[in-house]
Structure 1
Amino acid sequence: MADAILMGEPMALFHADEEGALEDVSRFTRSLAGAEVNVGIGLRRLGHEVTYITKLGMDPFGKYIFRALEREGIGREFITFDKERQSGLVMKSRVNSGDPVLEYYRKNSAATYLTPADVEHVDFNGVRV
């Protein structure tokens, strides 16, 4: 059993490869984003067993997120795919100073449709966090 079970919305992050307004940037690099994902990756790198609960779209970004979590060693047994909705996305500007601009595309994403039924079958016995 996992030491920690996290639940949230992982997203595909597109961060700008050059400075400037997002509408003017021509190249982005894709990576993984999400507060709970970041916590999970940190815990995993400290040697803890981590499992994630979420819903992903059955789209290229959902498949990317699923594989990225696997590469990080995060359990995916409680991740389901939604054929009707998309996975969440976020775009991040590159800045030399100050805070970057973040644009989220998550309205009606698969993860926003998580319900209590999605966790009813999860056995939390022995889970520390």
Structure 2
Amino acid sequence: MRTPDVLTFGESLVSLRSAGPLATGGTLTTHVAGAEANVAIALARLGHRSAWVGRVSTDELGEFVLRQLRGEGVDTGGVVRDAERSTGLMFLERRTADLTRVQYRRAGSAGSALTVDDLRAPLAAGARVLHLTGITPALSPSAREATAWAAKSAGIPVCLDVNYRARLWSRDAARAVLAPLAAHASIVVASDDELDLVGDVDTLLRQGADAVLVKLGAAGARAHTRDGVHHAGALTVTAVDTVGAGDAFTAGYLSGRLDGLDVDGCLRRAVTLGAFAVSTSGDWEGLPRRDELSMLDNHETGSTIR
């Protein structure tokens, strides 16, 4: 595969989804999950070259992760197969119509054993953008070291999605790690309740960020740049599953940037992918191909394309 447009790394999980409470049993469906993998898949579906690096087990679950990613066009040539550790699991239950609950089984997983050495060759091979998230450094000391090394050594624009996970670490612990990482980022992405973990907008722009993206949920999103503040409203859709929406948003913005769109165009694509994500089931399964990007323009609820 040619040099990727976007290189990303982190932990890909096997997600076991239940339509109802896990405690009552029932059928589980198997999927691939993980913030970085979601971004890589979203970009590949839009025709960009994306590569994902990480560690997966040598068993059937590790093979499942790789087959899914490769099937979506993601380059996995830099993936390390770990014979000593298992691939992490995520159990996701639809507890009520409005509430989804997640449980992890990822302690000591192959993905958490990521090291600097795992990233040296893929990063040296080049990319147009390096994408990383605040999830990876929360997994283990070695993953934290690898993330910091990559952010400092990339030599290419870095996109940091804060992606705070309270089950992985405290806000104080996250802030101590993520604020220094953000100083190396060209693009910083955060929900409005995550921004304080990496600093205020003015500080981030002074440190060198080209854009600070603030996700506002149903209110859309803002992009803070040195030229001012841009806003895009959310598209009106029926929310079905919000898991993965933030990753879709980030991928949409990166896609627009790779295509040379202005900030408003990038934001529009970002909220469009976010709308696809929340209005379809799965972390990434309902995300659009490039020729589908206009499907939600001026659509009506319940409409059919004939």
1:108-127 residue pairs with structure 2 within 5 A? 108-122=108-122, 123-125=124-126, 127=127
Name the CA distance, whole Å, in 2 between partners of 1:56 and 1:45: 23
| 1:124 Cα deviation from its structure 2 partner | 4.4
SS at match of 1:6: strand
SS at match of 1:41: helix
Name the CA distance, whole Å, in 2 between partners of 1:120 and 1:40: 19
Q: Which residue of 2 aligns with 1:25?
A: 25
| 1:25 Cα deviation from its structure 2 partner | 2.1
Q: Which residue of 2 aligns with 1:84?
A: 84
Q: Which residue of 2 aligns with 1:97?
A: 97
Q: Which residue of 1 aligns with 2:9?
A: 7
1:43-62 residue pairs with structure 2 within 5 A? 43-62=43-62
Give the letter aligned to residue 72 of structure 1: E
TM-score by length of 2: 0.40
Name the CA distance, whole Å, in 1 between partners of 2:61 and 2:23: 21
TM-score by length of 1: 0.92
| 1:104 Cα deviation from its structure 2 partner | 0.6
Judge which range, 97-106 or 6-15, deviates more. Answer: 97-106
SS at match of 2:53: strand
Name the CA distance, whole Å, in 2 between partners of 1:96 and 1:109: 30
Unaligned runs of 5+ in 2: 130-306
Q: Which residue of 1 aligns with 2:200?
A: none
Give the letter aligned to residue 56 of structure 2: L
SS at match of 2:77: strand
- The higher relative CO (CA closer than 8 Å, separation ≥ 6) is in 1
Name the CA distance, whole Å, in 1 between partners of 2:88 and 2:51: 19
* RMSD over equivalenced CA pairs, Å: 1.2
Give the letter aligned to residue 97 of structure 2: S
Name the CA distance, whole Å, in 2 between partners of 1:57 and 1:50: 22
Give the letter aligned to residue 94 of structure 1: R
| 1:96 Cα deviation from its structure 2 partner | 3.8
SS at match of 2:104: strand
Unaligned runs of 5+ in 1: none
Name the CA distance, whole Å, in 2 between partners of 1:23 and 1:97: 17
Structure with more strand by fraction: 1
Name the CA distance, whole Å, in 2 between partners of 1:85 and 1:94: 29
Q: Which residue of 1 aligns with 2:241?
A: none
Structure with more helix by fraction: 2
Question: How high is the sequence identity, in percent, across the aligned residues?
Answer: 30
Tell me the alpha carbon deviations over residues 34-61 of structure 1, each in whole angstroms, 9 at most, x when there is no partner: 1111111111111100111100011211
Give the letter aligned to residue 93 of structure 2: S
Name segments (4+ residues, structure 1) moved above 3 Å. Answer: none
| 1:23 Cα deviation from its structure 2 partner | 2.3
SS at match of 2:108: coil
Name the CA distance, whole Å, in 2 between partners of 1:80 and 1:53: 8
Name the CA distance, whole Å, in 2 between partners of 1:73 and 1:9: 18
Give the letter aligned to residue 110 of structure 2: A
